[in-house]
Amino acid sequence: MSFRKTGIAFNAELVRLAHANQLKRATLYFDSEAKRVGVEFHGRTKDRDAYAVTLDGGGSGKAGGRWIQVSRIYQTYPWLGAILKQSTARRRFHVRLDDSKNLWFADVVREKIA
């Protein structure tokens, strides 16, 4: 999971593991206390809290990555917006699967992020 100024990107490996290549929606979950971000990929088009999942990968989309446009979350969650001040490499986080919720999540705690 990589945080960009205009959205969140998901690499091809996560897309493959989450079987998200055919899923067009994603719902985000935020835990401000634990500094954790979760994503659930799904196809529920009527879910008003979901974001559109689009191709990522330099225009062609052949790399298999996906992303969602979510720039407003950085204002809502200042601790998340602080990540954008870091280098590109430090804005990338490993994700883990919470099987009980079918939710992929990343702990975004770093010693220099408020």
DSSP string, 26-90: EEEEEETTTTEEEEEEE--TT-TT-EE-EEESTTT-TT-EEEEE-TTHHHH-HHHHGGGGS-SGG
How much is the mean pLDDT over the chain?
Answer: 88
pTM: 0.87
% of the chain exceeding 70 in pLDDT: 90
Q: Please tell me the predicted confidence (pLDDT) of residue 110.
A: 63
Q: Write the pLDDT tens digit of every residue in 45-90.
A: 888 889 999 998 655 556 789 999 998 999 999 999 999 999 999 9
Measured between alpha carbons, how far is 43 from 39 in angstroms, rounded to an integer? 13
**Rounded average pLDDT over 20-33:** 93
Q: Please tell me the predicted confidence (pLDDT) of residue 71.
A: 87
CB 91 within 8 A of CB 67: no
